[in-house]
Structure 1
């Protein structure tokens, strides 16, 4: 339903809508079709949405940061099946070598620090502290003494 509408728009508007080009969408579709065929040999209920609509749903989630509840309502499915579909698509694309950049921030950080050396200076240095004198100690005792005084309540 949604894919048929969005498939007819121009490449520029499709890019604005989803954040990817038609060619990238078609590559994602090919990869996921193969994985879907592997998945069908196992038993289970068939999905209510077509694969194209599930990809659009995932792209909507990535692009707009909408909640699973709102996306599920717009596709007329349950929130849990929305989560399962998006999670399956993400995991499947991450495993494929053409979409390795989706692996997340941690893998990017590993590559960033791979050949770097960090030197940290940890030498000790003295901190100047005020000297304790008799007047400072007397002031402290006076302050604590005033806090412990009882109040006379008038009736």
Structure 2
């Protein structure tokens, strides 16, 4: 579908189709046009598609996660041209400061920009690797996966920073290896996958686990339910990310660009 066909769409329909708001789409177009004008200075063959169509094609790819062949057929270009266009758009947008995450250093600022943060990890299935299969095998998902850690600001529901590893890596181990340091006054809410975080960050809330000898009391169950209602916000953020099928379905591309695409989305 070409961009001219979407001009009559309502804003809600536009977002449902592309995964982004119309204002965000227009902002991305401005960034890409600026990058294209700089690229034209070096010469080269002009692109058959407009910037709007190229961006729409890239969003269509990560939103629906069809093959390059199917997407290229919709825009009547070659499969290799489709790949080059999508790769160029991803590289340009991820380098622009408007599409950069605050990063780990933002969590240590003394101005208390983040009073409460939520930490959780999600997994994306991948194709079975030819080498080091055990390294990527997740016992929880019973599949080969890539694990992504997301730290979210509770007030704004915006992602602060991310970290990535193989599916076999434990959630808390991924947190330690990501070298994330949080301001002592910032409250952290997480699940039981981060047992031991209280030793590193005292202001941490997580559900209490029951044992055979020590079952949970009514008060413990009440507290766990209250914490789950606060923690569900992080699950909602991850759910919004996985509306882009490239993160939800089996990832077929090279694993090197997975982090870039996750952060861009």
Fold in common (TM above 0.5): yes
Greater helix content:
1
Give the deviation of 1:74 after TM superposition: 0.5
**1:13 counterpart residue number:** 13
**Higher radius of gyration, 1 or 2:** 1
Give the deviation of 1:113 after TM superposition: 3.9
**2:93 counterpart residue number:** 93
Kindly tell me the number of residue pairs found equivalent between the two proteins. Answer: 117
**2:162 counterpart residue number:** 108
- Structure 1 runs (4+) greater than 6 angstroms displaced: 116-119
Q: Deviations over 1:2-56 (max 9, x none)?
A: 1111122000000000000110000000100100100001121000001000000
Instruction: Give secondary structure in 2 for the equivalent of 1:20.
Output: coil
Higher relative contact order (CA 8 A, sep 6+): 2
Q: Deviations over 1:72-101 (max 9, x none)?
A: 000000000000000000000000011124
Any unmatched runs of 5+ in structure 1?
120-155
Alignment of 1:2-41 (within 5 A): 2-41=2-41
**2:80 counterpart residue number:** 80
Q: Deviations over 1:49-75 (max 9, x none)?
A: 010000000000010001100000000
Greater strand content:
2
The whole-number CA distance in structure 2 between the counterparts of 1:15 and 1:82 is 22
Instruction: Give secondary structure in 2 for the equivalent of 1:8.
Output: coil
Any unmatched runs of 5+ in structure 2?
102-147, 150-160, 165-174, 183-195, 200-265
Instruction: Give secondary structure in 1 for the equivalent of 2:180.
Output: coil
